[in-house]
Structures are given as C-alpha cells and as structure tokens.
Amino acid sequence: MTNNRYDRDQWDDFYESENSVTSNENTATFSKINPKHYQHGRIQVWDFIVDQQLDFLAGNVVKYLCRAGRKDKESTLDDLLKAQVYLNKKIESLTDENP
C-alpha cells in the first residue's frame, strides 16, 4: 500500500465488503448515496471536494465535470452546462467581492 490517502486498498472494506450491501433495500440506499456515475477513477468526487476544501459553487463545478456523460438520461452537454452555471456564479461572486 502507498501513502496515498485515497489508495483503493484503504477503501476495500467500503467498496467490496461482504457486509456492506447484502439486501435489496441496502443496495437501493447505497446506490442513492453512492451512485455509479460518481464512481469513476480512484477516489470519490466528494472526497476530492472535501480534501480540497471547495465551497458549494466550486464543488458543484467539479461534481458536474466529473460525472459528465456518465449519468443515465443526462447528456455530457447537460452536465457541462450545469458546471458552467456554477462556474459563472462563482466568478460573479468573486467579482462582487472585488469590484
């Protein structure tokens, strides 16, 4: 195992534990709080957002960029446009703070 805090081995018990998801009810709950469109790469999107201490607006930019094209019934363009809305609002808020 490496010193990387997000090394997949550290999360094996969460992602692959025999006890983590056993019933249909647990599967439904798990998929709502940890949907597969956010399970791309080595770390969860929310873990990156928290680690970087991003605020709501910047966090949503990252979230929509990372899931773009991966969520059922949502096109890549839909998510990129959502990210753009949050990015524009973030820029606007910074502009208002420093006129």
| 2-57 tens-digit pLDDT | 444 544 444 444 444 444 444 454 544 456 666 665 566 678 888 999 999 999 99
Distances from the Cα of 29 to the Cα of 21, 22, 24, 26, angstroms: 9, 11, 9, 5
Query: What's the pLDDT band for 98 if we cut at 50, 70, 90?
Result: confident
HSE of 6, CA atoms in CB hemisphere, 13 A? 11
Residue 96 has pLDDT above 70, yes or no: yes
Please tell me the predicted confidence (pLDDT) of residue 61.
Answer: 97
Spatial contact of 98 and 76, defined as CB atoms under 8 Å apart: no
Please tell me the predicted confidence (pLDDT) of residue 33.
Answer: 65
Spatial contact of 45 and 38, defined as CB atoms under 8 Å apart: yes
Query: Of residues 74 and 35, which shows the higher confidence score?
Result: 74
Question: Which amino acid is located at 28 in the chain?
Answer: A
